[in-house]
């Protein structure tokens, strides 16, 4: 408890957002460093994506637990009874209060956990099936500084993408109780999340089945043009961008409100509200930037262009199929 008290004291800022943000970002980098060391020594990227999912889940859980951890630490130091943990079930239908979270905090945290668990296990199964090799790491796994940089880049990715969820979880549940039980941004945001994660999971499943059938020699196709892959050349990436847009929409509705501004210690004026919206928008903007400019679409397009760029059927598929936004 002494170590925990010290950590909580160091991050006990006046601003409630910083009280949540700093410990969670520190946790993200600590987890990535902890996984990076044995990975660098073994020169393997097998656990890279899985550690990313673990970091998402851990930081999200910590952001929910921090207010109670602080209250329990203070009670322990004073020798008084420890406050109870909020009831998860009661929070699902709660506007917020002393012994419960606001339902948005629970559902946003659950949404991140579901996404991270699904994607992490999917990528881990894929890299295990491919003998632990990922083409992204061909030129860096043998270079400790570059490999460490990849893990710290992942910690940065987690921190930026989680920003809207961390911000909502930083607002005291007692403050969020003043919000309407449900708003238009709640409905729109969670609808986008459900649609996005369904699109992404379906695209991943279709590609996995296609690859399995190819290994079983049930077809001789060199690239996938069926299912959602006939609607978009990168339907999984479209789903990824959409689901984070949904999370950001819910968060923006909370953070830009008078209640959210007050709970985060912001001014509540135009600048404060625009800052809150920008904070929420960082998540889908950063994800989409990575997909379009860094490790998503460019790598995939370059790889397939090199392999099949001189084939008429491949050129026809590229011509008829949008790169990102699906056609229906």
Alpha helices by DSSP H, the chain: 2-10, 16-42, 48-78, 88-91, 103-129, 144-161, 163-170, 173-176, 184-215, 235-255, 258-264, 270-289, 297-308, 312-320
Q: Give the pLDDT mean for 297-320.
A: 90
110-140 pLDDT per residue, tens: 999 999 999 999 888 888 876 667 777 888 8
Q: Give the pLDDT mean for 14-34.
A: 92
Q: Give the pLDDT mean for 88-99.
A: 87
Tokens 């109870």 appear where?
84
What is the SS3 assignment for 166-192?
Answer: HHHHHCCHHHHCCCCCCCHHHHHHHHH
Residue of 250 and 211 predicted with greater confidence? 250
176-200 pLDDT per residue, tens: 999 999 999 999 999 999 999 999 9
Quote the CA–CA distance of 47 and 293 in Å, as a whole number: 24
Q: Give the pLDDT mean for 204-223.
A: 91
Please answer whether residues 45 and 39 qualify as being in contact, where contact means their C-beta atoms are separated by less than 8 angstroms: yes
Please answer whether residues 75 and 58 qualify as being in contact, where contact means their C-beta atoms are separated by less than 8 angstroms: no
Residue of 203 and 87 predicted with greater confidence? 203
Tokens 């005291």 appear where?
172
pLDDT at 16: 85
263-284 pLDDT per residue, tens: 888 777 888 899 899 999 999 9
Residue 234 backbone phi and psi in degrees, to 5: -140, 65
Q: Which of 38-47, 57-66, 302-311 has the highest mean pLDDT?
A: 57-66
Q: What token pair was written down for 119?
A: 């994607």
Q: In which band, very low, low, confident or very high, does the pLDDT at 30 lie, cut at 50, 70 and 90?
A: very high
pTM: 0.92
Quote the CA–CA distance of 204 and 115 in Å, as a whole number: 13
| Coil vs helix vs strand at 249 | helix
Quote the CA–CA distance of 103 and 92 in Å, as a whole number: 5
- Cα Rg of the chain (Å, integer): 22
Q: In which band, very low, low, confident or very high, does the pLDDT at 65 lie, cut at 50, 70 and 90?
A: very high
């Amino acid at each position: 408890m002494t170590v925990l008290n010290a950590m909580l004291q160091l991050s006990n800022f006046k601003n409630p957002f910083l009280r949540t943000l700093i410990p969670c970002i520190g946790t993200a980098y600590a987890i990535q460093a902890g996984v990076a060391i044995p990975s660098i020594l073994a020169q393997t990227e097998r656990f890279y994506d899985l550690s990313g999912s673990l970091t998402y889940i851990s930081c999200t859980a910590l952001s929910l637990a921090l207010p109670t951890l602080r209250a329990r630490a203070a009670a322990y130091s004073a020798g008084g009874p420890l406050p109870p943990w909020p009831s998860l079930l009661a929070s699902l239908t709660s506007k917020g209060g002393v012994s419960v979270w606001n339902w948005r905090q629970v559902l946003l945290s659950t949404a991140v956990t579901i996404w991270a668990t699904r994607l992490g296990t999917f990528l881990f199964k894929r890299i295990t099936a491919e003998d632990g090799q990922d083409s992204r790491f061909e030129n860096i796994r043998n270079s400790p500084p570059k490999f460490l940089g990849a893990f710290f880049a992942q910690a940065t990715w987690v921190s930026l993408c989680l920003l809207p969820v961390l911000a909502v979880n930083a607002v005291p549940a007692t403050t969020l109780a003043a919000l309407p039980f449900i708003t238009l941004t709640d409905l729109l945001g969670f609808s986008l999340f459900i649609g996005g994660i369904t699109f992404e999971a379906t695209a991943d499943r279709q590609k996995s089945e296609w690859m399995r059938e190819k290994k079983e020699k049930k077809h001789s196709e060199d690239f996938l043009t069926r299912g959602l892959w006939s609607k978009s050349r990168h339907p999984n990436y479209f789903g990824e961008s959409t689901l984070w847009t949904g999370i950001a929409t819910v968060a923006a509705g909370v953070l830009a409100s008078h209640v959210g501004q007050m709970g985060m210690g912001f001014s509540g004026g135009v600048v404060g509200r625009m800052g809150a919206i920008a904070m929420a928008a960082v998540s889908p903007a950063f994800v989409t930037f990575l997909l379009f400019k860094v490790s998503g679409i460019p790598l995939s397009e370059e790889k397939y262009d090199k392999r099949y760029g001189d084939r008429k059927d491949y050129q026809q598929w590229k011509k008829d199929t949008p790169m990102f936004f699906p056609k229906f």
